[in-house]
Amino acid sequence: MAFRVLGVGSSLRDSASSTTALSITLDFAKKYGAEVRLLDLRQTKLPLYDPVENKTTPDMQKAQDDVLWADALILSTPDYHGSMSGAMKNFLDYFWAEFAGKTFGYLCASHEKGLTAMDQMRTAIRQCYGWSMPYGVSVNDKDDFTDGKMNPKLESRLDMLARDLVVYGNVLRQQFVKDLDDSSNTFASRYRK
Ligand SMILES: Cc1cc2nc3c(=O)[nH]c(=O)nc-3n(C[C@H](O)[C@H](O)[C@H](O)COP(=O)(O)O)c2cc1C
């Protein structure tokens, strides 16, 4: 079965640079044999997470189906005040155990390097027992696009991220799924059904 990569875009801007970079990265992941889906939070509108409310909207159901489907995720955010967008944090709040044992890649559209925003996404994922790629990629909407064409250096970084996520993510995922199915003493044991 093909390795399944879900990209989560969290800018609510039309033609957002973070979502453009995400789509290109997903195309590269396809080149490396992955099946891909894009969950664009501009289109899939999640209500503000409410731990008490138990009504599920069609958009909430779609997000849940996509997250359960995925073996690995790429989280893409604009840099807002050195942090992730509210839409991204709200998306993350909906899930917990669903992230465990999956590998996450990070993209950030920033006028700086987006490091603090990506670090905060990493912290949330670590809290949910997900793996994180050891690097992220930042995109600068002013410097990285000329006449709608992406800077080739950035394109090459996105290609590398896609390749590494598919290859390393697959190794980690296969081991996690194997550990779910046997009785070994690993962190996966708490996710056995
Ligand atoms: C509310 C808000 C806060 C922002 N804060 C920062 C910031 O702290 N650092 C930064 O480099 N850019 C900041 N920006 C600029 C955006 O990160 C930048 O325009 C980015 O390219 C937007 O991404 P998008 O094209 O994916 O929407 C901010 C923009 C907004 C609207």
**How far from each other are the two terminal CA atoms of the chain, in whole angstroms?**
22
Q: Is 80 in the pocket of ligand 1 (CB under 6 A)?
A: yes
Q: pLDDT by residue for the chain (193 residues), tens digit each?
A: 899 999 999 999 999 999 999 999 999 999 999 999 999 999 999 999 999 998 999 999 999 999 999 999 999 999 999 999 999 999 999 999 999 999 999 999 999 999 999 999 999 999 999 999 999 999 999 999 998 889 999 999 999 999 999 999 999 999 999 999 888 899 999 998 8
Percentage helix, strand, coil, to 5, in the chain?
45, 20, 35
Q: Around Cβ 116, how many Cβ atoms within 10 Å? A: 15
Whole-angstrom Cα distance, residue 85 to residue 183?
40
Q: Whose CA is nearest to atom 4 of ligand 1?
A: 80
Q: Is the CB of 11 under 6 A from ligand 1?
A: yes
Q: Whose CA is nearest to atom 8 of ligand 1?
A: 81
pLDDT score at 54: 87
Distances (CA, A) of 68 to 8, 63, 108, 149: 13, 9, 24, 34
Q: Tell me the pTM.
A: 0.98
Q: Which residue's alpha carbon is nearest to atom 11 within ligand 1?
A: 111
Q: Which residues of 71-103 are buried (b: 16+ CB within 10 A; e: fewer)?
A: bbbbbbbbbbeebbbebbbbbbeebeebbbbbb
Tell how far the Cα of 118 is from the centroid of ligand 1, in angstroms: 13
Q: By the 8 A CB rule, do 136 and 128 touch?
A: no
Out of 11, 14, 110, give the residue to mutate to test ligand 1, the one with the largest number of ligand atoms within 8 Å of its CB. Answer: 110
Mutate to test the pocket of ligand 1, among 25, 41, 81 (most ligand atoms within 8 A of CB): 81
136 lines ligand 1 (CB under 6 A): no
Q: What residue numbers bound the domain in which 42 lies?
A: 4-191
Half-sphere exposure of 190 (CA within 13 A, CB side): 8
Q: Hey, what amino acid is at 79?
A: D
109 lines ligand 1 (CB under 6 A): yes
CA–CA separation, 48 and 90 (whole Å): 6
Three-state DSSP state, 77? strand
Which residue owns the Cα nearest ligand 1 atom 2? 80
Query: Number of structural domains, the chain?
Result: 1
Which ligand 1 atom sits closest to the C-alpha of 82?
Answer: 8
Helix axes 152-181, 17-31, angle to 10 degrees: 60
In CATH, what number is assigned to the domain containing residue 69? 3.40.50.360
Give the tokens for residue 114: 């987006």
Strand (E) positions, 14-155? 35-40, 72-78, 103-109, 131-132, 137-139, 145-146, 149-150
